[in-house]
Structure 1
């Protein structure tokens, strides 16, 4: 048997921003540091460019990045991406 996808749902960026009480545009920029392996992906519909979405694990990784961004000076943000791995 091949790879089994364990993702049963995803949450859009706007929904996650509301859930976490964060600004959607700021969260979009924070999420730029995430890869698919981190639980971030794009959902594309008919006539749409796509929307960023997160798995349950992706939301947890995003919470870690949020904490790092709020506690870390701008010059050290590249370290944030490395911490997810």
Structure 2
């Protein structure tokens, strides 16, 4: 049995992003988390239109295959809309 399988944590040098028995990636390594953080940073950097376009494309690609991830991207789009309206400090 490997260290990862016995302890539930990845062995050093392992690139596994899941926990033992759970197919969902861990928080800080989850691609949707990284993507939404990047979109928010792009919006804060004065490029909310570009971030919104990317977010919309991601939402469209996720809505049928991963509705939960699509909802997370949707939340980011709501944040970006506030940035675009000037309601959120960039």
Task: Give TM-score scaled by structure 1 length.
Answer: 0.29
Task: Give TM-score scaled by structure 2 length.
Answer: 0.27
Larger Cα Rg: Structure 1 or Structure 2?
Answer: 2
